[in-house]
Amino acid sequence: MSFEVKEKTEVRLVFLGAAGVGKTALIQRFLKDTFEPKHRRTVEELHRKEYDVAGVKVTINIMDTSGSYSFPAMRKLSIQSSDAFALVYAVDDPESLEAVKTLREEILEVKEDKFTPIVVIGNKIDRLDERQVSSKDVLSTVEQDWNNSFMESSAKDNVNVIEAFRELLQQAKLPSRFSPALCRRRETFPKESNQRPSLNKTNSCLIS
pLDDT digits (tens, 9 = 90+) for 150-183: 999 999 999 999 999 989 988 887 654 454 443 4
DSSP state of 47: E
CA pair distance 207, 175, nearest whole angstrom: 10
Asked whether 85 and 63 are in contact (CB, 8 A), the reply is no
Domain coverage including residue 17: 10-177
CA pair distance 134, 112, nearest whole angstrom: 30
Does the residue 206 lie in any domain? no
Q: How confident is the model at residue 113 (pLDDT cuts 50, 70, 90)?
A: confident
| pLDDT at residue 170, rounded to an integer | 87
Does the residue 5 lie in any domain? no
> How many residues are there in the chain?
208
pLDDT at residue 42 is higher than 60: yes
Does the residue 1 lie in any domain? no
CA pair distance 111, 119, nearest whole angstrom: 15
Does the residue 164 lie in any domain? yes
**Mean pLDDT estimate for the chain:** 81
Cα distance from N-terminal residue to C-terminal residue, the chain: 34
Task: Say which range, 2-6, 79-83, 122-126, 159-163, has the weakest mean pLDDT.
Answer: 2-6
- Could you give the number of structural domains in the chain? 1
Burial class (CB in 10 A: 0-12, 13-18, 19+), 176: exposed
Q: For residue 138, give the CATH number of its domain.
A: 3.40.50.300
Does the residue 42 lie in any domain? yes
Does the residue 29 lie in any domain? yes
Q: How confident is the model at residue 191 (pLDDT cuts 50, 70, 90)?
A: very low
Does the residue 189 lie in any domain? no
Task: Say which range, 7-16, 29-38, 175-184, has the weakest mean pLDDT.
Answer: 175-184
Asked whether 54 and 9 are in contact (CB, 8 A), the reply is no
Question: Distance of alpha carbon 51 from its chain centroid, rounded?
Answer: 17
Does the residue 74 lie in any domain? yes
pTM of the model: 0.79
pLDDT at residue 199 is higher than 60: no
CB atoms within 10 A of CB 147: 10
Asked whether 64 and 45 are in contact (CB, 8 A), the reply is yes
More confident residue, 182 or 55: 55
